[in-house]
Amino acid sequence: MKLFGKWKAAWHRLMHNEALKRKIYVIIFESDTPMGKLFDVALMLFILLSILVVVAESIQSWAAFIGPHLRILEYTFTAFFTIEYLLRLYCSPKPKQYALSFFGIVDLLATLPFYITWLFGPARYLLIIRTFRLIRVFRVFKLFNFLDEGHLLLSSLYISSRKISVFFLFVLILVISIGTLMYMVEGNQPGTSFNNIPNSIYWAIVTMTTVGYGDITPATPVGRFLSAIVMLLGYTIIAVPTGIVSASMIQGYREDLQRKKGKRGSRSGRKPASDERKWKVLESEYLIRRPWLTARRDHVKLPTGAEIPEYYILEYPDWVNTIAITKEGKFVLVRQYRHGIRETRYELCAGVCDEGEEPLVAAQRELYEETGYGGGKWQPWMTISANASTMTNLTHCFLATEVERISTQHLESTEDLSVHLLSEAQVKALLMNDEVRQSLMAAPLWKYFSTHSSR
């Protein structure tokens, strides 16, 4: 029992070691540190090598010579991807959200096929096991983790070539995936030409880019149906987006050139008009990039000709907050500690918009997670900036009426807040006595009371 207690205590310390989680997060999810770059390079190398192993395993003539070595490599790759997936869950601020995300599912699928072969016996379910092992080739989708380079495109002279590379990689991933699927469908047919994955990938390329040469053709109804889909995809994926991608490249190049060099044709001494007051960014450099802090230094030129060599900007995702009022007319507020001012104050329920998340969805999610309240009638209330001079984000404020408690709180390990139902008079008193320190929350409350009469 003592040993079990020690293990339990050690496990508890590990799961609540925020400093360790932060270090691992920087290495795994960030790429602007030496260790982060090294990890990304190693991960890409392991992904590519694991794909080559799966492809090589499908070539039956090689099995007798290098089969055992390939299995050892597969054990190594599976161990690496398993540890990587567990570490991502461990250090992620929102493990459940990561696990259910596209990349989280892809990371899980990169390891599952190997363990599935342990769960099912090799005799009766041999065909099923073989099919599951082939799914390992879809580890290639993990390469999408390395396409998020928008911050590099802003300062790169090769913006067009990088976009082309991303598009090429997408097509490459698609033909690899389709070729593998066709091998799974046609590989067991007598006399088939789809006898290995490289031949199947070749068929996918010629079918998608043309209508096929006829040297390799499917025999099963499912294979023929897949061929028709691939030919239609060839027109859809290659022909249609070509103009869109070209226009995007041209527009991106023009914006990049204008941002870096400015408008050289402007005359000196010309009085700037209202639409000419935008500053020109001559040079930009990121100083720090962390999950909750991204700071950059801009060298800017004003319309008057004056330059500011060092202008510092803080980049944040957009924020949300909500004036939530119950059916009984009570305001749903939270009370929590803010380390910046080292005070515990009443606040509106607030949070951060996740990447690609609509502000309304984020506001409803935060209200539910922090207070357990939901439902009601929602409307946009106002959009404000915390500091328009040095911060890039906006705060989207919402008014939610007739909300009701539908669950308990769903707080993260780093959240510590209590829920309070206050009357209109109590909220007004908080505002009058400067008890609401957050300006982003005081502003929508003052607007509410200025537009709604007392009950």
Band of pLDDT at residue 167, cut at 50, 70 and 90? confident
pLDDT at 266 exceeding the cut of 70: no
pLDDT at 10 exceeding the cut of 60: yes
CATH architecture under which domain 148-262 falls: Orthogonal Bundle (1.10)
pLDDT at 179 exceeding the cut of 70: yes
> What's the mean per-residue pLDDT of the chain?
77
CB-based contact 150:166 (threshold 8 Å):
no
Return the residue matching tokens 């991608």: 245
pLDDT at 273 exceeding the cut of 50: no
1-146 fold: Four Helix Bundle (Hemerythrin (Met), subunit A) (1.20.120)
Nearest to 77, CA basis, from 116, 119, 45 = 45
Nearest to 414, CA basis, from 20, 94, 89 = 94
Q: What are phi and psi of 375, to 5 degrees?
A: 70, -155
pLDDT at 120: 60
Q: Which residues pair with 297 in a beta bridge?
A: 285, 312
pLDDT at 422: 94
- Residue 196 CB neighbours (<10 A): 20
Nearest to 280, CA basis, from 295, 264, 268, 296 = 264
* Per-residue exposure over 148-185, b if at least 16 CB sit within 10 Å of its own CB, e if not: eeeeeeeeeeebbebbeeebeeeeeebbbbbbbbbbbb
CB-based contact 51:41 (threshold 8 Å):
no
Task: State the average pLDDT over residues 52-75.
Answer: 80
Q: What is the pLDDT of residues 32-50, one digit of tens each?
A: 667 877 887 787 788 778 8
- 250: Cβ contacts below 8 Å, ≥ 6 apart: none
Least confident range of 223-227, 281-285, 309-313, 345-349 = 223-227
Please compute, for residue 431, the number of CA atoms within 13 A of its CA located in the half-sphere on the CB side. Answer: 21
Residue 149 structure tokens: 């380079």
Least confident range of 282-291, 312-321, 337-346, 362-371 = 282-291
Q: What is the pLDDT of residues 89-134, one digit of tens each?
A: 888 878 888 888 777 787 787 777 777 766 664 433 334 434 444 4
Length of the chain: 455
Residue 166 structure tokens: 């991303």
In terms of CATH, what superfamily is 319-451?
Nucleoside Triphosphate Pyrophosphohydrolase (3.90.79.10)
Band of pLDDT at residue 282, cut at 50, 70 and 90? confident
SS (H, E, C) 180-200: HHHHHHHCCCCCCCCCCHHHH
Which of the pair, 437 or 262, is modelled with greater confidence? 437
pLDDT at 123: 37
Task: State the average pLDDT over residues 188-207.
Answer: 83
Q: What are phi and psi of 294, to 5 degrees?
A: -130, 115
pLDDT at 447 exceeding the cut of 90: yes
pLDDT at 239: 58
